[in-house]
Structure formats: structure tokens, C-alpha cells
Structure 1
Amino acid sequence: MPHVRRAPPARRIRIRRARATGLLAAVVALAVAVGHMVPASPSPSPSATVAASPPATPAADVPRPADPGDLGAADGAVPDDTTVFDDDVPGVAGLDPALLRALRAAATDAAGDGVAILVDSGRRSPAYQRRLLDEAIARYGSEAEAARWVATPETSAHVSGDAVDIGGADAMAWLSAYGRAHGLCQTYRNEPWHYELRPDAAARGCPPPYADPTQDPRMRG
């Protein structure tokens, strides 16, 4: 699919902040977005519509503007409306090549359903991840609670380039329904935006998501 570049001055860099729990409005928006995409009657083509069931979504957030400070694109901050085809964005270009190929294949299929898969956050520097963790600790009041939402720089799949946070309720719903065909799986139940590559998912299905990152054995390093 040809990719049309946007003029750089029109794109505002946004630092992704630690996501907050309990924002009902965002959850409702996701449910409504999914509901609008469900056909009146079953379709014989699985690529023609998005499934009726949204991702298991106990929490979501509304992105907030932020001062990038000393962190910028090289650390993983992404401009608004970044797509998986934006090679000039380090947060996208720095993703694991196999994950990026899967995302682009999925985005091409999703475009046929009128869905754009945007990138809210991709590969991050350790400094960026550290800032997100520090902000989460300040917000939630303890390291233990913050760990439910933000990993350490040493354990984060974002720092290694193995995870992507999807932007857009319709994109999250589409990946929840069809991502497994591309090996893309939601990793945590409390983060319907966080996807990682599971190569066997197309044949075996996605593994059950962990309740939150504290249940992921990789986070206990």
C-alpha cells in the first residue's frame, strides 16, 4: 500500500504518559466504536467487518498533551497520527523487524475495512521508559501499583522493540478480532492497546493475556 508522507511541521510530538485506570468514558468510546462496526447480519467474509466483542478492557485512557522536555523522537516519542509505515519515526523504525512486518501486513488488511492502525508508542529508550515509570509511581503512590501499568527499563518489551501500543479504539477492536491471523496478540487484559508478536498465534490462537504486567514472568527479572 503506498504511503503518503505528512509534512513534518504539521505533526506534533507527543510523549506517551503512563495510562490511568478507571476512565469510563474511554471504555464507553471503545465499546461504541466497536458496536458501529458490527454488521446487521453475519458476513461470510471475516475481513469484511470487525467482531462484535471488544478487547477485554477494564481500563483505557485519554492521551494528554505533554511537554517533551529533554526527551524527543529519538527516545521514542511519536508524532500524532503516526502509522506503522512511518519509517522516519524512530519509535516505529526501531521495532523488531518481524513485529513491524506483521503490523504492516495487519494494517494493510485493516485498511480494507476502513480502519487505520496508528502507533501511540513503539520502541522506547531506557531513559523514556524510566520517566514513564517515575510518573506512574508518582501517580499511583507506590512502585507496586505502578508496576501494573509500566515496566522497568530492564524488563520493558518497548525498550527491546518487541511491543507496540496501538492508537484508536477502532484499531484496537480490529486487532482484537483479527490480529491473531498476523501473529499479533494483546499481552495484558488491562492494556487493550499493548500488542506483541506471537508467531504461532495464526495456527494456535493467541495465548490468554496476563491480567496485568505484574503477572508476566518476564517482569520479574
Structure 2
Amino acid sequence: MSLAAIAAAAIAIGVSMSFFNAAGQLPGVDRADAVPVDDGETGEISLTEPISPFDDAHVAVARLDPALREAVQSAASDAAADGVELLLTSGWRSADYQAMLLRDAVDEYGSESAAREFVSTPEGSRHVSGEAVDIARVDPALWLEQYGSAYGLCRVYANESWHFELATTPGTECPPMLADASEAG
């Protein structure tokens, strides 16, 4: 079944499109043709095997902006105290890996403009600059959306419930969300 058919069925039964990942796939579904999971250089994290934000040996965490890494780790510690485990499905990504994600999204959606709603260019991606993380699973993402501003972490895109950036001063309100990644430039 194509992604479009799955999305249409999901909409028909009232499931939000925000459950789809940055490549437009359902979280937890690995693509058979994807590049091998993290070769140490791409920053790829398997959707079925998210990693701890404390896994500093993984390039996706190690190459995060230090302030973002510290904020995510602090939030993860406090979430754990609430019984919520924050895990990452994405952090830093190489420009080549980001370009592959965009190419795959163009193939899936049929045009770059449609793909850009979910996947930024390597030049515009906050993942490539180490300034964004994607949170695994709905409940931890909801926890971070509710409490993230205390750490400066904000959900940035209305159509991506998993994507967070250091977007405010800790303890202040998050800025209004953009509709999707195409508005980020």
C-alpha cells in the first residue's frame, strides 16, 4: 500500500498526519532500501531502535549543538522522573544523508515542493547543523511539547509532532509553530 493510500485511510478514520516521520513514513517502519543504519558518519538512527540522548558515542548525539544536547539530556532526566523515556530517532545528520532523505521524499510525494513540507534541504536542515532532534513515540513527544519550554525546547512544525529545537529562552513561551518544514527556508 502506498504512503498516499495509508495517509488517505488515516485521514478517513481521523488519524493525524503528524504521526508520520520526517520522510513521510509511519514511525517504526524502516525502509528496505535505506542506507545502512549509522555507519558512524551519516547520523542515521533506526526508527525501530531509537537511541538515548545520553548516547554521546553515537554521532547523531555527539555532533548536536552542545546547548541543545544539554537541554535534551536535562529534559530526558526530568521526563524519566515522571516515568517517561525520551529517545531519539534523529539528531545531527550529515548533509549527504539529508540529501538522500529529500530525494526519497521527492520520489514519494512527486515534487520537491510537496516533499519540502516534511524534509528540508541539506542547506536548510536544522538536523545538519546539529540544532534539531526528533523524539521517538507519541507520549514522550507530548511530554516534551508540554514541558519543553522549561528547557528552551519547542516543537517547531505543526505537522511534525516529533521535531524539537532549542527555540526559546528556558522558562519562556515557545514561538508559534510553522505549518511545516517548507516555511523554515
Give TM class, smaller chain.
Answer: 0.7 to 0.9
Inter-partner Cα distance in structure 1 for 2:158 and 2:111: 21
Inter-partner Cα distance in structure 2 for 1:133 and 1:206: 27
Matched, 1:64 2:29: yes
Q: Report what 1:194 is aligned to.
A: 163
Equivalent residue for 1:91, pick from 54, 60, 63: 60
Seq. identity, %: 42
Matched, 1:177 2:146: yes
Inter-partner Cα distance in structure 2 for 1:165 and 1:110: 16
Q: CA 1:145–1:182 in 2, change beyond 3 Å: closer, same or farther?
A: same
Q: Return the letter of the residue paired with 1:59.
A: S
Equivalent residue for 2:10, pick from 19, 24, 28: 24
Inter-partner Cα distance in structure 1 for 2:88 and 2:176: 23
Q: Return the letter of the residue paired with 2:30.
A: P
| C-alpha contact (below 8 Å) 1:58/1:189 kept by paired residues | no
Inter-partner Cα distance in structure 1 for 2:181 and 2:148: 20
Higher strand share: 1
What is the deviation of 1:81? 3.1
* Secondary structure at the counterpart of residue 120 of structure 1: strand
Q: CA 1:120–1:94 in 2, change beyond 3 Å: closer, same or farther?
A: same
* Secondary structure at the counterpart of residue 88 of structure 2: strand
Q: CA 1:176–1:94 in 2, change beyond 3 Å: closer, same or farther?
A: same
Larger Rg, first or second structure (1 or 2): 1
Following superposition, which runs of at least 4 residues in structure 1 exceed 6 angstroms of deviation? Answer: none
What is the deviation of 1:77? 1.1
Map Cα deviations across residues 67-114 of structure 1 (whole Å, 9 max, x no partner).
Answer: 424963321112513010001110011100000000011001000111
TM-score (normalizing by structure 1):
0.70
* Secondary structure at the counterpart of residue 102 of structure 1: helix
Runs (5+) with no aligned partner, structure 1: 1-19, 29-56
Q: CA 1:162–1:125 in 2, change beyond 3 Å: closer, same or farther?
A: same
Q: Report what 1:127 is aligned to.
A: 96
The number of aligned residues is 168
Q: Report what 1:42 is aligned to.
A: none
Inter-partner Cα distance in structure 2 for 1:151 and 1:106: 26
Inter-partner Cα distance in structure 2 for 1:201 and 1:22: 38
* Secondary structure at the counterpart of residue 200 of structure 1: coil
What is the deviation of 1:58? 4.0
Runs (5+) with no aligned partner, structure 2: 1-5, 21-25
Q: CA 1:70–1:76 in 2, change beyond 3 Å: closer, same or farther?
A: closer
